[in-house]
Amino acid sequence: MTRTAAVVGGGIGGLTTAIGLRAAGWQVTVYERGQALPTTGTGLGIWPSALRALDGLGVGPAVRAAGRPQENGAIRRPDGRPIVALDMDRIRARHGEPVHLVPRPALLRVLHDALPSGTVRFDTPVDDVTGLRAEHDVVIGADGIGSRVRAALFGDRHGLRYVGATVWRGTADLDISTGGETWGSGARFGVTPQGPGRTNWYAVLTVPEHHRLSRPDADELRRHFGDWHDPIPAVLDRYATSNVIRHDLHHLAPALPSYVRGNVALLGDAAHAMTPDLGQGACQAIIDGAVLAGCLGGGEVAEGLRAYDRQRRRPTQRMAAASLMVNRLAQARRWHLARDLVMRLALSFGPPA
């Protein structure tokens, strides 16, 4: 008898899980609130561990082809002096390949197209999982940082907490050769090459939650970052055509006691929403989805869900804690020399891959 799964959320984690479950013989329906796949979005760093998970689902080569290897990077001071280089050769030597930079829309397209037509039901929000739990063998909450599935399972105690900073993200019509971040005092600016003539960028400022600026966003960013090293001024000159989105940064706290309740499992941001400081949000959602599908591939559903929770909860919660620590360091307003030394020491052990 074919088992059925309802996946709430058609993002990276939800689509990855659907691919894995279908390969294991499950009948899967993905319920996605959005009306269609997004056509705009910034780039994602897909690390070797996530690429291996995608290889296991048969879509790794297509994801690599949709992006480009990240050749280099560095963390710098506003005047351009390096704090620490990001050793991509070390990652390549240790794991056999580098990080791949993939635009979010391209990644979602690859994952979506690996599923049969009609698997994803767009414009179909799920606000109450009770009915789905009765109709399906398993329900998977992959509905993102503001997960309603998580709220239904755990209530308000485990919710989103403001980390003290807001971020602007966009893409600029500009070629750059070197990506990375620049750290100032309570402020950061990051750039990564997306493709020929396109650059992803983001700017982070330490401000109160829901902060209202006294001037237009573009002017505020120029005030903070306009005299930082190249190519930051050139990126800001293209603000008007950058398709910018702005949002406050949050993480999930306190950490969940389990990613499973009954026949419902949480994954990705719904389970462990973390700050973006280690570039691991999408990667951990991919690995969650692949592991969950593998655990549910055979045997009892309840045991499969328990195995998923055992394998993924502690590693992802450690990653979330480490990402929050980096966020605190990066947004520090003082003790910058000590901060920079801590980062050099931390990266000497190698970044997560």
Percent of the chain scored above 90 by pLDDT? Answer: 77
Average pLDDT over residues 236-250: 95
> CA 211, CA 180: separation in Å to the nearest integer?
26
DSSP 42: -
Phi-psi region at 44: left, alpha or beta (left = phi > 0; alpha = psi -120 to 50): beta
The predicted-structure confidence for 14-26, as pLDDT tens digits, reads as follows 999 999 999 999 9
Q: What is the pLDDT of residue 298?
A: 82
Count CA within 13 A, CB hemisphere, residue 131.
Answer: 4
Q: What is the pLDDT of residue 330?
A: 87
Q: Which residues contact 95 (CB under 8 A, 6 or more apart)?
A: 48, 49, 353
Average pLDDT, the chain: 93
Q: What is the pLDDT of residue 353?
A: 61
Has residue 351 got a pLDDT over 60? no
Q: What is the pLDDT of residue 348?
A: 59
- For residue 5, give the 3-state DSSP assignment: strand
Average pLDDT over residues 251-276: 98
Percent of the chain scored above 70 by pLDDT? Answer: 97
Phi-psi region at 243: left, alpha or beta (left = phi > 0; alpha = psi -120 to 50): left
Has residue 53 got a pLDDT over 70? yes
Q: What is the pLDDT of residue 347?
A: 63
Has residue 309 got a pLDDT over 60? yes
Structural domains of the chain, with CATH: 4-69+103-161+253-330 (3.50.50.60), 167-249 (3.30.9.30)
Q: What is the pLDDT of residue 41?
A: 84
Q: What is the pLDDT of residue 291?
A: 98
Average pLDDT over residues 246-253: 96
Q: What is the pTM of this model?
A: 0.95
Has residue 302 got a pLDDT over 90? yes
Confidence band for 350, pLDDT divided at 50, 70 and 90: low
Has residue 225 got a pLDDT over 90? yes
Average pLDDT over residues 88-98: 86
Residue type, 128: D
Has residue 324 got a pLDDT over 90? yes
The predicted-structure confidence for 152-200, as pLDDT tens digits, reads as follows 999 999 999 999 999 999 999 999 977 899 999 999 999 998 878 899 9
Q: How many CB atoms lie within 10 A of CB 157?
A: 9
> CA 284, CA 319: separation in Å to the nearest integer?
9
DSSP for 94-107 reads: HHSS--EEEEHHHH
